[in-house]
Structure 1
Amino acid sequence: MTRWTQRPEGSNWGDFGPDDQLGRVNLLTQEQVLKGVREVREGKVFCLSLPLDLPGGMVLNPRRKPPRLAATERDGVPYMNFPMENLDAASIDVLSDDQVTLSLQYSTQWDALAHIGAQFDVDGSGTPRKVYYNGYQAGADIPDAPERHEGEGCCGHGGAAFGAKKLSIDNFAVKGMQGRGVMVDFVRHFGHGRTLIGYKELAAILESDGIEVEKGDMLVLRTGFAETVLEMAGKPDGDKLHESGAVLDGADTQLLNWITESGIAAICADNYAVEAYPARTEGAKKSLLPLHHHCLFKLGLPLAELWYLRDLAEWLHAHQRNRFLLTAPPLRLPGAVGSPVTPIATV
C-alpha cells in the first residue's frame, strides 16, 4: 500500500526507503560511531541526565506527572525489606523490589518520530489527513487511544492494546543512538536569560568558537535551562523558568534550512521543547511548534529535551574542545512515542 503520492515541501520522505522509520538517525553509521570513539582521549565520563523526578510538579506540562515509585506486591504484601523466610523458613534473604509510574517525557528525554505529526494532503485529493514522518497514518500506524470507561484500566475497553505500531521509540533503541556529539554553548555567549536563537546567532557562535558541524553529528545545545531547574530543587517557579535559557527560533526559515543542509542526525538540548513556544508564526493554518514540525515530521530528525550539560560544557571549554562520544539509547519500549534517557558523554 502506498502511503503517500506527494510529500511535504522540504521533507526527505522516501529518501531512506519507503518503509523507513529512522529518518536522519540513519546517518548514525558505523563510521559516525568511530568518529565519536576517536574523540575519546581521557576516558572521562559525564552523565547528561537530570534526576528523573525533576523538574518537579506539573508546571512545565500539566499532562505529565512526576514519577511515582512503589513496591511491587504479591497478595497485597509490598515487597520492600521483605524477609524471604516468609516463603521459605530456611531463607536468610531480604528482598526489595519496586516499580514506577512514569510519564515518559517528564524529564530528560527523547522524542520519537511518532510524537509530532501534522495534517497533510498525502494523496493530492485536497483532503488533509493526520500523518507522521514518511506518511505513516494516524489511526492505522499510530492508533488512537482506546476509550476509557468507568472502572476500566489504562488499556481501555476490553483491554485493547495501546501504542504506536510504527515510528515508536524502540526503533532508536535498536539503532543504538551512539555517535559524535558537538557542543554549542549558548550560556557562554548569552548567559542564563531568555534568548531567541535564530540562524544568525547560531552561525556567529559556530564561527567564533571554531565549531565544525558535519553530516551525521548530533548537535548538543546548552541553554542553561536545566541548570535553573536543578537549582529549584523540585519546586519549579513557572514564571522564572519562562524567562530562563535560550530557545531556538522555529519560525526562522534560514535556521530550518541550515538544519536540513547540515546533515545533523539529532538535536539534543537542555531546555524544554528545544524551541520557543508558541512560535512567532502567523496564518490561518500554522504549526505551533515549527521546529518540531520541520525536524520530526519532515526530516525524521529526533529531538531531545531537558538534558543536563553544564559539567560537560565547562570541561570541554577548559580543554578547548567541543566534540565527544555521545551514547544515548532510549528505553526499548515498543509503542512508546517518547522515552526517558540517561545520556553519557565520553571525552
Structure 2
Amino acid sequence: MATRWKRRPEGSTWGDFGEDDQLGRLNLLTSEKVKAGIAEVKEGLSFCLSMPLDFPGGAVLNPRRHPPRVSPTLQDGCPCLNFPLARLDARNTDVLSDDQVTLALQYSTQWDSFAHVGAFFDVEDNGVRQKVYYNGYRANEHVVGPRDYRPEGDVDVDGPYGAHALGVANMARKAIQGRAVMIDLKKHFGLERHYVGYDNLMRVLDRDRIEVTPGDMLLFRTGFTEVLVGMNRNPDGDVLARTAAVLDGRDDALLQWISDSQVAALCADNYAVEGLPALERTLGQRPALPLHQHCLFKLGVPLAELWWLAELAEWMQAHDRHACLLTAPPLYLPGAVGSPVTPVATV
C-alpha cells in the first residue's frame, strides 16, 4: 500500500508501477518497444508533427493562454540583436543575436503532464475528499501553487511553486520514444464535429486493419489543426467548435478500452483530445474533463494536443502504413505541468 493513499480510484493504475511512480503507462516504453518503433522505419523519412508555436493565434481556444512573445536579451541595457561586441572591446569583430521568450507552455503543440489535471478523491478512505493527482500525489504538497483554494476561504502559500512531482521533467528524462499508430478519423468522419465513442473507434480500427499493441502511442488525426492553420493566426472560435472529430470522454466503453489496451499515450491534432463540452449522460457530480481525468489522473496516460499530423497521415494512406517510430520528449523544465514539443515521426 502506498504511503500517500489508502484507497485508489477504481480501475486506476496507482501503485502498479511502484509506490513512487511518476511515469504511469510511459513505463511501457521499454527498450523492446523502442526497437518495435525502429522496426517500423522502412524509408528513413522524418515528419515534423508540430505547428509553429505562435499558432493558434490569439486566445480563442483558451483565455488563459496567449501567444508567445519573443524579445532580445539585454547586453549592458542594449537589445542583443545584431549587437556588435566592438562596443565592449574594439578588438572584437563579432556580431551577436540572443533572445528570450514568454510562452504559455500549453499554447500550441504540447504535452499534458499528470500534474495538469487531478481530482477530488477520498485517498485516506475516511469520507473526506482531497485534491490529488496520479498515484496519490497531493495538491499544495507535490503540486504547489501560490494559493490554496479552500471552502472556508483561500489561503496564500509560500513557494517554491510548481510541479515538484509529476511534471514534464519526468517525461523528458524518459525521452519519450517508441512505436506509434496513426488512427485517421478525418478519413472516416470528415471535418464535421463528431463525438467518437468505442463503437466508432472499433469500426475504424477494423476497416483500416489497424493493430494496437500494449505500449503503443496513438496518433489521432482529425483535421482540426489543418483548419486552424488555414485561419492564419486569426482563429474563428465558432467554426472551430464545430470542426473535426473528438473522442467521447463520457463513453464508458471507450474509457475501458483505453484501460484494457494498455496504450502508453494519446496524441491528437485537435484541442483537448476529447470533446468539450463533454456530452451529458450522467446525473450529479462528474468530471468536466472525463477523458483527462481517466487518463491523467487514473491511468497515468499522458495526453498531447494540437499536433500537426496532415503530411504524415497522407503519406501513410498513400503507402498503406499505420505505424511509425515516434520521438517526442517535452522540454526538460523542472516544475512545469505542460510543455511545448516538436515531435518527429520516422517511417
TM superposition score normalised by structure 2:
0.95
**C-alpha separation in 2, matches of 1:71 and 1:62:** 26
**Does structure 2 conserve the Cα–Cα contact (< 8 Å) formed by 1:146 and 1:162?**
no
**What SS does the corresponding residue of 1:53 show, helix, strand or coil?**
coil
Tell me the residue number matched to 2:58: 57
Deviates more, 1:71-80 or 1:320-329: 71-80
Tell me the residue number matched to 2:262: 263
Q: Which consecutive segments of 4 or more residues in structure 1 shift more than 6 A?
A: none
Q: Shift in Å at residue 245 of structure 1?
A: 1.0
**Does structure 1 conserve the Cα–Cα contact (< 8 Å) formed by 2:194 and 2:246?**
yes
**C-alpha separation in 2, matches of 1:245 and 1:306:** 12
Aligned residues: 338
Tell me the residue number matched to 2:119: 118
Q: Percent identity?
A: 59
**C-alpha separation in 1, matches of 2:221 and 2:254:** 17
Post-superposition CA distance 1:2-37 (Å, at most 9, x none): 110110011010000000000000000000000000
Mapping of residues 123-138 of structure 1, within 5 Å: 123-138=124-139
Q: Shift in Å at residue 192 of structure 1?
A: 1.2
Q: Is 1:105 matched up with 2:106?
A: yes
Q: Shift in Å at residue 161 of structure 1?
A: 2.2
**C-alpha separation in 2, matches of 1:199 and 1:321:** 23
Tell me the residue number matched to 1:332: 332
**C-alpha separation in 2, matches of 1:144 and 1:66:** 23
Tell me the residue number matched to 2:153: none
C-alpha root-mean-square deviation of aligned residues, in Å?
1.3
TM superposition score normalised by structure 1:
0.95
Post-superposition CA distance 1:134-180 (Å, at most 9, x none): 00000101112269xxxxxxxx998x422111000010000011000
Q: Shift in Å at residue 279 of structure 1?
A: 1.1
**Does structure 1 conserve the Cα–Cα contact (< 8 Å) formed by 2:146 and 2:157?**
no
**Does structure 2 conserve the Cα–Cα contact (< 8 Å) formed by 1:327 and 1:343?**
yes
**C-alpha separation in 1, matches of 2:188 and 2:286:** 31
**C-alpha separation in 2, matches of 1:135 and 1:157:** 20
Q: Which amino acid aligns with 1:222?
A: R
**C-alpha separation in 2, matches of 1:53 and 1:327:** 22
Mapping of residues 266-281 of structure 1, within 5 Å: 266-281=265-280
Q: Is 1:210 matched up with 2:204?
A: no
Q: Which amino acid aligns with 1:98?
A: D
Q: Assess, with a 3 A threshold, how the Cα gap between structure 1 residues 274 and 157 changes in structure 2: closer, same or farther.
A: closer
Deviates more, 1:335-344 or 1:75-84: 75-84
**What SS does the corresponding residue of 1:189 show, helix, strand or coil?**
helix
Tell me the residue number matched to 1:84: 85
Q: Which amino acid aligns with 1:329?
A: P
Tell me the residue number matched to 1:292: 292
Q: Which amino acid aligns with 1:69?
A: V
**C-alpha separation in 2, matches of 1:284 and 1:89:** 73
Tell me the residue number matched to 1:72: 73
Which consecutive unaligned segments of at least 5 residues does structure 1 have?
A: 148-155
Tell me the residue number matched to 2:47: 46
Tell me the residue number matched to 1:344: 344
Which consecutive unaligned segments of at least 5 residues does structure 2 have?
A: 149-155
Mapping of residues 283-322 of structure 1, within 5 Å: 283-322=283-322
Q: Shift in Å at residue 277 of structure 1?
A: 1.2
Q: Assess, with a 3 A threshold, how the Cα gap between structure 1 residues 157 and 279 changes in structure 2: closer, same or farther.
A: closer
Q: Shift in Å at residue 76 of structure 1?
A: 2.0
**C-alpha separation in 2, matches of 1:280 and 1:196:** 9
**What SS does the corresponding residue of 1:172 show, helix, strand or coil?**
helix
Mapping of residues 88-237 of structure 1, within 5 Å: 88-145=89-146, 160-237=159-236
**What SS does the corresponding residue of 2:220 show, helix, strand or coil?**
strand
Q: Which amino acid aligns with 1:284?
A: G
